[in-house]
Amino acid sequence: MEGSNGNKINETDSIGFQLLRGSRTGPRRGLYQTPHGSFQTPCFAPVGTLASVKGLLPTQVRETGAELILANTYHLALRPGEGIIQEAGGLHSFMDWEGPILTDSGGFQVFSLEGLRRVDDSGVYFAGSQSGKALFLDPRETLRIQRDLGSDIAMVLDECPPAGAPRKQVLEATRRTILWAKQAAEEHQKMGGASRGQAVFGIVQGGIFTDLRKECAEQITQLPFDGLAIGGVSVGEPKPEMYRVVQATTPYLPEEKIRYLMGIGDPDDLFQAVLKGIDMFDCVSPTRHGRNNLLYVPEGRLKIRNAIYKKDFRPIQEGCPCPACQRYTRAYLRHLALAKEILGGILQSLHNLTFLETLMQNLRMKIEEGQQAEALEEWFGETYPGWAHRV
């Protein structure tokens, strides 16, 4: 593999991010090294919230092309608890995943559990959820829990405001996110920084307000984080607004650090964000859609329960290497969906993950060949016509 200067890159040279091609803005090609191996960028990380990518064995997830997965600090702290996972040897051993793992901080639950939490500058108080256990998270405790979970990449605690929130609310959430980031950076350094085997990423908030995004990015990038994320997108805002926010934020992120757009999983969103300089993504959508009989195909979304597939003996997608496409027909998958057989959700989840991982592999190849945004847009329109102009 070659870097942007033409030099060969050794995957074991260092811990952290290597930018192989590209710069501050526009499509980028990179490699991130962790204690549990490396992952190539741009990449998509399947979500295993409770230390499980729903319905799938780790070997099956790996076979889709995934190199990195995500788990959730809030949910694992509640059940089974970080102490049990630490005693089991950490997340990798507990769930039998040999590759890199990123843990979210619980910041998204500040958004998604709005009626079950209280937020102030000290942290977040979550009322008892389905586990019956209340939980308090602050910037330092969040990192300590993630240290015990043993993930390769930990996220800072942030406040994610909902779409459509008034400027005053977003301003307060941005101020608090910066405050918490400073506390988290201090705690990360006290614990030994990335040299202890765990990277910590900061998060940029600011809603749809580009001036707040700029201010937050400038503050967060001054702190000694190992990577940077854009949070607070795909929370209900229109797609063009999300693209505008990403394009307005990336110029303020350092070229040499990895960029992570949180919670994004539709093919068109991944493509548009890669064009704007994003390196990594995660989302529950491919497996959630798979369990709900919605499939990604180059022509758009395929609803397998529809009657038109009753006698359709073609695969979901010609040429797709996933088990669903290699072994089964649309007619069979429709039968499984109508019969509510678990196998249908498993096969469809594998297809959707394979679709996204193949998209990422193809983008990496095109960027490595030196193709710029205009050429990539033409390629995407020809290869994925159903997704090329979705807004």
Q: Which residues are catalytic?
A: 104, 282
- What are the distances in angstroms from CA 201 to CA 152, 227, 274, 363? 11, 5, 19, 24
SS3 call for 334: helix
Residue 42 in 3-state DSSP? coil
Helix (H, G, I), strand (E, B) or coil at 75: helix
- Hey, what are 121's tokens? 């500058």
By the 8 A CB rule, do 31 and 67 touch?
no
Per the rule left: phi > 0, alpha: psi between -120 and 50, beta: everything else, 362 is alpha
Q: How far apart are CA 2 and CA 18, in angstroms?
A: 11
Which runs of E-coded beta strand occur in 16-144?
16-21, 29-34, 37-41, 43-46, 69-72, 101-104, 117-120, 123-126, 135-137
In the sheet with 280-283, reading across from the earlier edge strand, the strands are 43-46, 280-283, 258-261, 227-230, 199-204, 153-155, 101-104, 69-72
Query: Distances from the Cα of 83 to the Cαs of 20, 145, 148, 157, 192, in angstroms?
Result: 38, 9, 7, 20, 21
Residue of 160, 173, 59 whose CA lies nearest to 113? 160
Distance CA 30, CA 48 (A): 24
Question: E-assigned strands of 48-108?
Answer: 69-72, 101-104
Please say whether the beta carbons of 286 and 265 come within 8 A.
yes
